[in-house]
Amino acid sequence: QVQIEESGGGLVQPGGSLKLSCTFSGTISDFDAMGWWRQFPGKQRELVATIQKDGGINYGDSVKGRVTISRDSAGNTIYLQMDNLKREDTAVYYCVLDLWDEPDRWGQGTQVTVSS
Protein backbone atom coordinates (compact mmCIF):
# COMPACT_ATOMS: atom_id res chain seq x y z
CA GLN A 1 0.00 0.00 0.00
CA VAL A 2 1.12 3.50 -0.83
CA GLN A 3 0.19 6.44 1.36
CA ILE A 4 -0.13 9.88 -0.20
CA GLU A 5 -0.10 13.08 1.81
CA GLU A 6 -0.49 16.57 0.37
CA SER A 7 0.27 19.80 2.17
CA GLY A 8 0.74 23.49 1.48
CA GLY A 9 -2.75 24.54 0.52
CA GLY A 10 -4.41 27.58 1.96
CA LEU A 11 -5.63 31.09 1.29
CA VAL A 12 -3.60 33.40 -0.92
CA GLN A 13 -4.33 36.74 -2.56
CA PRO A 14 -4.48 37.13 -6.35
CA GLY A 15 -0.99 37.47 -7.76
CA GLY A 16 0.48 35.60 -4.86
CA SER A 17 2.39 32.35 -4.71
CA LEU A 18 1.94 29.01 -3.06
CA LYS A 19 3.97 25.82 -2.93
CA LEU A 20 2.34 22.43 -2.53
CA SER A 21 4.14 19.32 -1.38
CA CYS A 22 3.24 15.67 -1.72
CA THR A 23 4.95 12.80 -0.01
CA PHE A 24 4.54 9.19 -1.11
CA SER A 25 5.25 6.61 1.57
CA GLY A 26 5.55 2.87 1.27
CA THR A 27 7.00 0.85 -1.55
CA ILE A 28 6.80 2.47 -4.97
CA SER A 29 8.06 0.75 -8.08
CA ASP A 30 7.29 0.67 -11.78
CA PHE A 31 5.36 3.92 -11.82
CA ASP A 32 4.70 5.95 -14.95
CA ALA A 33 4.31 9.40 -13.49
CA MET A 34 3.52 11.53 -10.48
CA GLY A 35 1.56 14.70 -10.64
CA TRP A 36 -1.09 17.15 -9.63
CA TRP A 37 -4.71 17.44 -10.68
CA ARG A 38 -7.35 19.85 -9.50
CA GLN A 39 -11.12 19.85 -9.23
CA PHE A 40 -13.54 22.74 -9.27
CA PRO A 41 -16.95 22.37 -7.60
CA GLY A 42 -19.25 20.32 -9.80
CA LYS A 43 -16.55 19.77 -12.42
CA GLN A 44 -14.28 16.94 -13.50
CA ARG A 45 -10.73 16.85 -12.33
CA GLU A 46 -8.29 18.48 -14.71
CA LEU A 47 -4.58 18.14 -15.25
CA VAL A 48 -2.29 20.64 -13.56
CA ALA A 49 1.10 19.05 -14.05
CA THR A 50 2.79 15.66 -14.24
CA ILE A 51 6.37 14.55 -14.05
CA GLN A 52 7.21 11.25 -15.69
CA LYS A 53 9.59 8.62 -14.41
CA ASP A 54 12.17 9.67 -16.98
CA GLY A 55 11.85 13.31 -15.94
CA GLY A 56 9.53 14.49 -18.68
CA ILE A 57 7.08 17.18 -17.62
CA ASN A 58 3.61 18.09 -18.86
CA TYR A 59 1.49 21.08 -17.86
CA GLY A 60 -2.17 21.78 -18.25
CA ASP A 61 -3.02 24.60 -20.63
CA SER A 62 -4.75 26.63 -17.94
CA VAL A 63 -1.67 26.83 -15.73
CA LYS A 64 1.24 26.64 -18.15
CA GLY A 65 3.75 29.37 -17.45
CA ARG A 66 2.55 29.89 -13.89
CA VAL A 67 3.37 26.58 -12.22
CA THR A 68 6.43 24.42 -11.88
CA ILE A 69 6.45 20.77 -10.89
CA SER A 70 9.52 19.09 -9.49
CA ARG A 71 10.53 15.85 -7.82
CA ASP A 72 12.90 15.44 -4.93
CA SER A 73 15.58 12.97 -6.03
CA ALA A 74 16.33 12.21 -2.40
CA GLY A 75 12.90 10.72 -1.77
CA ASN A 76 9.34 10.16 -2.86
CA THR A 77 8.24 13.77 -2.78
CA ILE A 78 6.96 16.08 -5.48
CA TYR A 79 6.27 19.80 -5.37
CA LEU A 80 4.09 22.25 -7.19
CA GLN A 81 5.27 25.85 -7.16
CA MET A 82 2.43 28.15 -8.16
CA ASP A 83 2.99 31.80 -9.00
CA ASN A 84 0.80 34.65 -10.17
CA LEU A 85 -2.26 32.88 -8.84
CA LYS A 86 -5.68 33.88 -10.09
CA ARG A 87 -9.12 33.60 -8.54
CA GLU A 88 -9.97 30.92 -11.09
CA ASP A 89 -7.19 28.75 -9.66
CA THR A 90 -9.34 28.14 -6.60
CA ALA A 91 -9.88 24.39 -6.38
CA VAL A 92 -9.02 21.25 -4.51
CA TYR A 93 -5.62 20.06 -5.64
CA TYR A 94 -4.88 16.34 -5.67
CA CYS A 95 -1.59 14.52 -5.72
CA VAL A 96 -1.65 11.49 -8.00
CA LEU A 97 0.57 8.47 -8.53
CA ASP A 98 0.23 6.78 -11.91
CA LEU A 99 1.35 3.20 -11.49
CA TRP A 100 2.51 1.00 -14.34
CA ASP A 101 -0.21 -1.64 -14.29
CA GLU A 102 -2.48 -0.67 -11.42
CA PRO A 103 -5.22 1.92 -10.89
CA ASP A 104 -3.97 5.41 -10.13
CA ARG A 105 -3.54 6.34 -6.49
CA TRP A 106 -5.00 9.62 -5.29
CA GLY A 107 -4.38 11.71 -2.22
CA GLN A 108 -7.19 13.29 -0.23
CA GLY A 109 -6.61 16.72 -1.71
CA THR A 110 -5.66 20.11 -0.36
CA GLN A 111 -7.75 23.25 -0.76
CA VAL A 112 -6.26 26.23 -2.55
CA THR A 113 -8.29 29.42 -2.32
CA VAL A 114 -7.27 32.56 -4.20
CA SER A 115 -9.21 35.54 -2.94
CA SER A 116 -8.74 39.13 -1.85
CA distance 100 to 116: 42
| Alpha carbon distance, N-terminus to C-terminus of the chain | 40
Residue type, 28: I
Long-range contacts of 56-60, Cβ-Cβ distance < 8 Å, separation of 24 or more: none
* CB-CB contact of 24 with 3 (8 Å): yes
User: What is the pLDDT at residue 75?
Assistant: 66
One pLDDT digit (tens) per residue for the chain, 116 residues: 789 999 999 999 999 999 999 999 987 777 899 999 999 989 999 999 999 988 899 999 999 999 999 999 776 899 999 999 999 999 999 999 998 888 899 999 999 999 99
User: What is the pLDDT at residue 78?
Assistant: 96
